[in-house]
Amino acid sequence: MGFATSGSFPASLAPAQSQQALVTNYLSFTDAAGGNFAQQYLPELYEAEVERYGNRTVSAFLRMVGAEMPMTSDQVVWSEQNRLHVAYDNVEFDGVTGVDSDLIITPPAGNTNIAIRVNQTIVISDGLLTVKCLVVNDLNGISSPTAGWNVLKVRPYTASTLTAAGFTPGATGLKAFVYGSEFEKGTQGMSGAIQPDFTQFDNKPIIIKDKYEVSGSDSAQIGWVEVATEDGTTGYFWYLKAESETRLRFEDYLEMSMVEGEKVAAASNIPTYASGTLEGTEGLFAAIEDRGNVYNDFAGAAAPGSGAMGDFDDILKHLDKQGAIEENMLFLSRRTALDFDDMIGAMAGGGYNNVASASYGLFDNEAEMALNFGFSGFRRGSYDFYKTDWKYLNDASTRGLTEDIDGVLVPAGTSTVYDQILGSNIRRPFLHVRYRASQADDRRMKSWITGSVGGAYTSDLDAMQVHFLSERCLCVQAANNFVLFKSTV
C-alpha cells in the first residue's frame, strides 16, 4: 500500500525514505496522524472486522474532570484544612449531682484534650432538646485545655442543671458546638489557645505494564503508508493493527487503575519481592468510601422519578454540611442517568404523562421536532449539576459486569492545599493524576520496541516486542465533597 498525502507529523515520527520498519517511523493507530490515516486510507481494515461493540475504550473520565502533573518522589503528600469551628458529636452527660453538670467528651484519635475552654458558650443537643450552657471552672481548678482535659463543667442558661433542663443523667450520643463566650467585667482574657490543625493524606504511584509481541514471520504483514513531507520529499510509515488494540487496552488500564486502585491492607497476602512490597494505590472509589460519601440505592425500586427527588434532596442536605461547592459533575450508569431524567421530567408539569410536561426545557416541542426526554444539566437549591453517562459503568467487560456502582458526583473547580514537598499552598483540581517524571525519564506513558524485528536489534528473539509502562497515582482532594452512588439491590 502506498498512498501519498501531506501534512505535519508528531516530532517523534520521521518518515523513512524506503520501506524500512524502524522505531522512528512506526505509525500507531492512536497517533493524531495515525488515526486519520487509518480511517481515510485503510478502509479494508475496518471492513474486515465489524465493530459490533462500538467504541470499546472506556477512558476519558479523568481527562474530563482532572489533570495530569509530574512528580519526582515515591510518594505524594498533601494536607487539607479541618473545620473552622469546634464541635463534638460523642458527648456524654454523666449525671453528677450538683450545680455543675459534667459533660464527658472523648477526644478524636491522636488527641489527649479537647478544644473547648472555660467561659465559652456552647450548644448541647440530643436531636430533640437543645440547651445553651456556659463552661465554668471544674472542681480541680483546671481552666484551660491541658493534657487530659475532656470533662467539662457547664451550667445551663435556662435551668439550674442539665437534668432540670430535660437531659437524662447518663445520656450518650449528645452533640455540642461552641458559639461564643461570656466574661465578667475586669477579668483576665481567655485561658489557653487553640492551635489550628490539619489532616494529612498521601498516596503512592504504582507501575503499570503491558506488552505486545509479534513474530518475525508475522511482521511481514506490515502495512505501509507513503507520505509527502513539507519539504517536498516522500517517505514511509508502517503500522500493525493488533498493536494498536494493546495500546488502547493499556491506556484504558491507566485510567481504570486510578479509579479502582486499592492500598494493601495489613491482613493482605500481597507478595513481597526483593525490591520491596507491593503497596497498591488509593483509587477514586476507595478514596470516596474511606473519606467521602456513599449513597446506596438511589431512587430505589420506585416508579420512575417518584423516589429520586427525595433521595437527591438528602444528598444536597449532606453536601450543605461539607464544602457546599456550587458546581458539580455527575458521571452515571445508564440506569441512574435515566432515574435523573425521570426525576427532572416529573417536576415539569406533573410528569411525563401530563400534557404540559411535553414543553419543558429550553424549547417547546413542536410536531416537526423530536421530543427530548433527556437532560444534560439542572439546578437544585444553590447547586448546579452537569450530567453525563460514564461508559465504564455500562460496559459489560468492566463495571457493567458487576452493576454495583451507579455513578459518582465530582465537584468542579480547584482546591487549595498545602504541598509538603513544595512547602507552600497550591491550587489543584479536586481530582488529578500525578506521574513520575524527571529530566532523564518521563514515565507518564512510555513505549519502546525490543527484539530483532522492526529495526530494534536488542536480542536474538525472532520477534518484535512493544512494551508499555507508566507510573502514576491519583490524588483525591477534599473527598468529603464527593458522592459515590452504589447499588445493593
Distance between CA atoms of residues 346 and 292, nearest Å = 29
Is residue 124 a contact partner of residue 175, using CB atoms and an 8 Å limit? Answer: yes
Q: Beta strand pairing status for 327-332 and 383-389?
A: parallel
Which residue's entry shows cell 426526554? 373
Distance between CA atoms of residues 25 and 16, nearest Å = 6
pLDDT tens by residue, the chain, 489 residues: 334 444 455 556 677 767 766 667 776 655 544 444 444 444 444 444 555 666 677 777 777 776 788 888 888 888 887 788 888 888 888 766 566 677 888 777 666 678 888 889 999 999 889 999 998 865 444 444 444 567 788 888 998 888 888 888 888 888 999 999 999 898 888 887 877 777 888 999 999 999 988 888 777 666 666 766 556 667 776 666 667 778 888 999 999 999 999 998 888 888 766 566 788 999 999 999 999 999 998 886 555 555 688 888 899 998 888 878 888 889 999 989 888 888 877 765 544 444 444 444 444 555 555 555 567 888 888 888 888 889 999 988 899 888 899 999 998 876 665 555 556 665 667 888 999 998 889 999 999 889 988 777 889 999 888 899 999 999 998 888 999 999 887
Q: How many CA atoms are closer than 13 Å to the CA of 381, on its beta-carbon side?
A: 17
Is residue 134 a contact partner of residue 162, using CB atoms and an 8 Å limit? Answer: no
> Smallest Cα–Cα separation from 152: which of 203, 100, 227?
100
Which residue's entry shows cell 458539580? 328
Instruction: Compute CA 433 distance to the chain's CA centroid, rounded to the nearest angstrom.
Output: 10
Which residue's entry shows cell 504511584? 205
- Give Cα separations from 131 to 153, 223, 369, 398 (angstroms): 14, 80, 60, 52
